Chain A
Amino acid sequence: MEFKHSEERQMLIDMLARYLQNDYPLQARNIAAESDAGFSDAQWRSFCDLGIAGAFFDEDQGGFGGSAFDIVAVFEQLGRALVVEPLLDCGLLPGQLFAAAGETGHLADVIGGVRRFAVALPEGDKTACHATRTDLGWTLTGTCAQVSFATATDAVLVTARTGAEAADMTLFLVPVDAPGLSLVRFGTFDGGSVADLGFEGVQLGDDHRIGPAHGAAPLVANARAWGTVAICAEALGIMETIKAMTLDYLRTRSQFGTTIGRFQALQHRMAQVLLEIEQARSAVINAAAAMDQPEEQRDRMISAAKYTVGRIGTLVTEESIQLHGGIGMTWEYELGHFAKRLMMIDHSFGDMDHHLARFMALRAS
C-alpha cells in the first residue's frame, strides 16, 4: 500500500505546478476562454513544449508516463489553475483512440502537438452520424452535437454508425475543411467552445478510417473511461483551489468586528466541505487504481468517482459561493470561474444521476 507519488511523477507535478503558478494568470486565461478558439494557442504551444501530453502515454507509445496515476496527477494540476487549453479533448482523448487503433503516426502528432484533433464521441451509445460504403471509400451524413473545440482543430475523429446495430460504429478522421462538413460554433458557459457538426455527403477515402470497420465501440469505451477519470481529477484540482480561496476568505474577511471564520455556523459548513473533498480525492484514487481492472469493475469505480465528483462538486460550488457572500457572485473575483467549470464538469461525460444509475447497473465482482 502506498499513497505517495513516485519521485519521477512528483517531479512532473512540481514542474507543472511551478509553470502554472508563474505563467498561467487567471485573467489571461479568462480572456482566452472567451475568444473564438476558446483557449490560447500560445499557451497550447507552451504545454506542448513542456511535453505534458507525453505524460498520458507510455514509452512504447512515444510518451514517458501512461499510468492512470500519471494522468490524474496532471489533470489535478490543470484543474487547480483552471487550464482551459484542451489537453483532455485534443490530447488525451484523440491520443487514446489513436493508440488503441495502432495509429502511431497520428499519436506522435498528438504528443508532439504537431496537429490538433477534436473527438466526436457518440452521445450515450448512439451516434447520429452515418457512414456508408462507396467504391472509393465512405460517405458520411448526419450530425454530431457539441464537439469540444472542433473549430480550433485540424481534423475531427468522428464516430459513425456503419451497420445494422447501434454498436456497429467506425471511427473516421475528418479534416475540418472537408467538403460537405459544416461547423456551427458555440461558446460554453465555463469558457472554451464547442461546435455542432453537420455531414452532408462528406466523401472520405478508406485511409481516413481509424481502427477496424464496425469496431469502434471498444475504442470509444476505453477513451471515454480515460476521459472520465481525467475530468474527475480536474474537478478535484478545482475543488482544492476553491477550498484554499474560501479558507483564505474566512481567515481575512471581517464582519461584526471579527474575522468571519470565527463564526461556528460558517466553520461547520467549511469543515463539511473539507471532509467531502477528501472523499472526492479517495474516489479519484479508487477510479485510477481500477483502470487496469476488468472492464466492468473499472467502469463501476469510474461511475462511483464521477457520481462523487458531481455530488461533492455541487456542494463545493454552492457552499463556497455562499461562504463568500456577495463577492462570490462577481465576474471580477476569481472564485466564480472555478465554480462554473466545476459545475459544468457534472454536465460532461455523464452527470451524477447517469453515473449513479450506471454504478447500480454494473455488478460488483
Chain B
Amino acid sequence: MDLKFSDEENQFRAEVRGFLDKELPPAYARKVADGIYLTKEEQEDWHAILHRRGWLAYNWPVAFGGTGWGPVKTHIFDEELARADAPKVLAFNFKMLAPVLMKFGSRDQCDHWLPRMLEGKDWWCQGYSEPGAGSDLAALRTTAIRDGDDYIVNGQKTWTTLGQYANMIFCLVRTGFDCKPQSGISFLLIDMATPGVDLRPIRTLDGGHEINEVFFTDVRVPASNLVGVENEGWTYAKYLLTYERTGIAMVGASQKKLDRLKRLFAEKAPDMAPTESGLLAARIARVEIDLLNMSTTNLRVLKAAADGEAPGAESSMLKILGSEIHQELDSLMRRTVGSRARLDRSQQQAPPGVAHAAAVYFNNRKLSIYGGSNEIQKNIISKMILGL
C-alpha cells in the first residue's frame, strides 16, 4: 500500500508543468477557465504546439506516433492540463476514433488516417446518437446499403459535438436488418463534404453552439471506409466504453474548479451572514471530501489498468461519481457567485473560471447525460455485479 507517485513520475509531472508554463497561450487558458470553446484555428494551433513536443497523441502507442505512456503518466498529463487550464485534445480524433482504428481498422486505414490526425489535417466528429436512438443506441436507423464499391447512406445523426468544425464523421450505421438490433450495425467513416451531407446547428440552453444535427441523403461512401467487418460495429463502439478508464473521472478539472471555488468563497464569506457562509462552507467541504475519495478511487482503477487487470464496472462508477461531483462544483460556484450569476454572459467582468457561472452550470448538465447517461451506467454496473 503506497499512494505516492514515484520519483520518475514526479519528475515527469514537473516536465509537463514546465512545458505548459512556457507554451500554453494565456488567451487559450482564459477561455478554458471560463468554459468557452476555442475557435477551430485556436484548437488546431494548440494541437500543433503539442505535436511539436510529441505529446499530441499522448494516449497512443509509440508505433503509431504516440508516447507509449501507461495509464499513470497519462493521468498525470491530464491533471497538469487541467491545472494549467490547458485545452484538452480533440477527443473524437485522439481518444475515440484512433483506438478503434488501431484495434479494428485495416493497415491502410491506420496508415492513412492516423498521420493525418497528427498533422492536423482532419477534424473528426461522432455520428452515434439519433433522434430515435439516444440511450437505446442500438435502435439507430441511419442505413448504409451496399451498392457496388460504395455504401449509400440515408438518415439523421444528432448531438454532433463541434460538427461545424469537422470535415470527417465516424458513424454507426445500420447494415443488417433481419437480426438483433446490435448485430446489424457497422462502423463507417464519412467525408462531410460528400454531396447529401447537411449540417444544422442546435442552440443549447446556455445559448451556445456546440452541437449539431447531421442529415444524410443518398450519401455515397466508398466501401473502403468501412472499419473492420460489416455488422460488427456495435462491438467496436462498446470497446471504447469499457477501455476508456483514464480521464473519465475528471479529477484534474474538478480539483481546479474546487480550488477556484474555495478562493472565491474566501473572498465572499466575510460579507455573508455567518449561518449562510457556514452552510455554504459545509456544502463545499462535503464535495471536497467526495473528491478526495474519488481521486483515490481513480488511482486504484488506474493502477489496476496499469497492471493489466481486466476492466469491470469501474469506468461506469467513475463516470457517475466524476460527473456528479463536477456538477455539484458547478452548482456551488453558481451559488457562491450569487446574484451576479444572473447577468448575461456579455456583461460579466470576473476572474477566470467565475464568469459565466450560470452558463457553465447549465452546459455541464450534459455530463450526466452524454457518453452513456448515468442511468445507463447504473444498468451496466447492475448487469456486471448482479449478473442478471
Contacts and interface: CB of A to CB of B under 8 A. Distances in A.
A and B: partners?
yes
A302 to B, nearest CB: 12
A274 B384 CA distance: 12
A131 B79 CA distance: 54
Contacts of A279: 290, 293-294, 297, 321
B2 A1 contact: yes
Given A271-B381, A360-B285, A289 B317 contact: no
Interface string A74-89: 0000000000000000
A282 B386 CA distance: 23
Contact of B293 (A69, A274, A304, A359): A304
Interface of B: 1-6, 9, 72, 281-282, 285-286, 288-290, 292-297, 299-300, 303-304, 313, 317, 320-321, 375, 377-379, 381-382, 385-388
Contact of A286 (B282, B286, B292): B292
A250 B2 CA distance: 36
Nearest to B295: A282
A2 B2 contact: yes
The dominant DSSP class at the B interface is helix
A267 B382 contact: yes
Contacts of A271: 377-378, 381-382, 385
Nearest to A288: B1
Nearest to B317: A275
Interface in A254-287: 259, 261-262, 264, 267-268, 270-272, 274-275, 278-283, 285-286
B380 to A, nearest CB: 9
A78 to B, nearest CB: 18
A115 interface: no
A263 to B, nearest CB: 10
B381 A285 contact: no
B381 A3 contact: no
A18 interface: no
Nearest to A262: B388
Contacts of A289: 1-3
Contacts of A133: none
A308 interface: yes
A1 B297 contact: no
A261 B386 contact: yes
A282 B382 CA distance: 21
Contacts of A251: 386-388
A320 to B, nearest CB: 15
A3 B378 contact: no
Contacts of B304: 3
Contacts of B300: 3, 282, 285
Contacts of B382: 261, 264, 267-268, 270-271
